[in-house]
Amino acid sequence: MSVVKQLAQNLALGDLLQDLHRIIGPSKPVVVWKQTCSHSDVVIRVSEKKTLPGHVLVIGIDCNGGVKEVLCFDEVPDRWALWRWRCPANPEFEGDIPPLLDYEKTQHWFDPNEICDDNSYCELRPEFRQRQRGGGFVPIGDPLA
């Protein structure tokens, strides 16, 4: 079983990070990209890839820290290129991702096109939210938008 698949068996971000530290060793957070109220990408750089095919993990999580997917690259992908890969028909996303070295979805995964739809569910009342690039909503003034 690949390490990415093993890490994706952790359905909570905290458990995944503990497992990552135990299996691989030290890692450093690079950035967190929030896309809508229900998705964030946590980008992690590992010091030694050991059994990983690359040095960078992108961990897609839901609003409760539930792991949806784990992607492995050798370099940090561009945020909007990653979303273009996920939603290739969305004209607001552009760019190409570096080679995807390993990828695993979890039972928390759902079609990312659904959260980028302008009619997607959002807990925020309309007067407290703004549309985000590519679709979906975030709180007004969210610095990660």
Residue owning tokens 């492995």: 72
For residue 41, the tally of other CB atoms under 10 A from its CB is 21
C-alpha to C-alpha distance for 10 and 13, rounded to whole angstroms: 7
> Quick one: pLDDT at residue 144?
63
Q: Look at residue 43 and tell me if it is in a domain.
A: yes
Note whether residue 85 is domain-resident: yes
Query: Where is pLDDT greater, at 49 or 13?
Result: 13
Could you list the residue range(s) of the whole structural domain that residue 101 is in?
A: 3-109
How much is the pLDDT for 145?
A: 65
Hey, which residues does 75 pair with through a beta bridge? none
d(CA 50, CA 4): 12
DSSP H stretches of helix in 1-145: 3-8, 13-23, 79-86, 112-115
Among 45-49, 51-55, 75-79, 105-109, the range scoring the smallest mean pLDDT is 45-49
Q: Is residue 145 part of a domain?
A: no
* 140 lies in some domain: no
The listed range with the strongest mean pLDDT (44-53, 96-105, 110-119) is 96-105
Instruction: Summarize pLDDT for 70-111 with one digit per residue, the tens.
Output: 999 999 999 999 999 999 999 999 999 999 999 999 999 989
pTM above 0.85, yes or no: yes
Q: How many domains does the chain divide into?
A: 1
φ, ψ at 127 (rounded to 5°): -75, -10
- Which position has the token pair 């959260």? 115
Residue 24 maps to a domain: yes
